């Protein structure tokens, strides 16, 4: 049934969001890779860890786009397709070129909102809109 598919889709979305938020915050703020104390342009800095992490997001984007196309428009309309295609293309460019990792990761930090959005949907579907977790 469609609700089970969306439940699973949002579950994977939440897993990706938690992973990518943790990795993005680490890479941007704690790894030192984008420090202004280093020589050279920050826009051309990358590492095997930053490329691997972008690859994980690319895999998620491809999977999610496939689900959206397969069940179109049940999981989202054209705005979701456009959003995912732009995200996929920019992330692929960054991973393959080694450029703009800092910008992609700053954008991916916004995935921090996804678990909360999905939690509200899960609680609504489970009939728990009145719970304290729903906010």
Average pLDDT for 104-122: 98
Instruction: Indicate the pTM of the whole model.
Output: 0.94
Q: Which long-range contacts (CB under 8 A, 24 or more apart) does 102-106 make?
A: 102/28, 102/34, 102/42, 102/43, 102/45, 103/43, 104/54, 105/23, 105/24, 105/27, 105/28, 105/50, 106/24, 106/28
Domain that holds residue 40: 2-134
pLDDT digits (tens, 9 = 90+) for 54-67: 999 999 999 999 99
Reported confidence tier of residue 112, pLDDT bands at 50, 70, 90: very high
Total of domains in the chain: 1
């Amino acid at each position: 049934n469609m609700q089970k598919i969306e439940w699973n889709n949002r579950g994977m979305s939440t897993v990706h969001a938690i992973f990518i938020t943790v990795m993005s915050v680490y890479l941007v703020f704690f790894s030192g890779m984008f420090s202004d104390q280093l020589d050279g342009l920050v826009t051309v800095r990358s590492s095997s860890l930053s490329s691997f992490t972008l690859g994980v997001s690319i895999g998620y984007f491809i999977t999610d786009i496939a689900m959206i196309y397969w069940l179109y428009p049940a999981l989202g309309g054209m705005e979701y397709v456009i959003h995912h295609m732009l995200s996929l293309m920019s992330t692929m460019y960054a991973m393959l070129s080694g450029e703009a990792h800092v910008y992609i990761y700053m954008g991916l930090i916004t995935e921090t909102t996804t678990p909360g959005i999905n939690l509200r949907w899960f609680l609504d579907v489970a009939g728990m809109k009145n719970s304290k977790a729903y906010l």
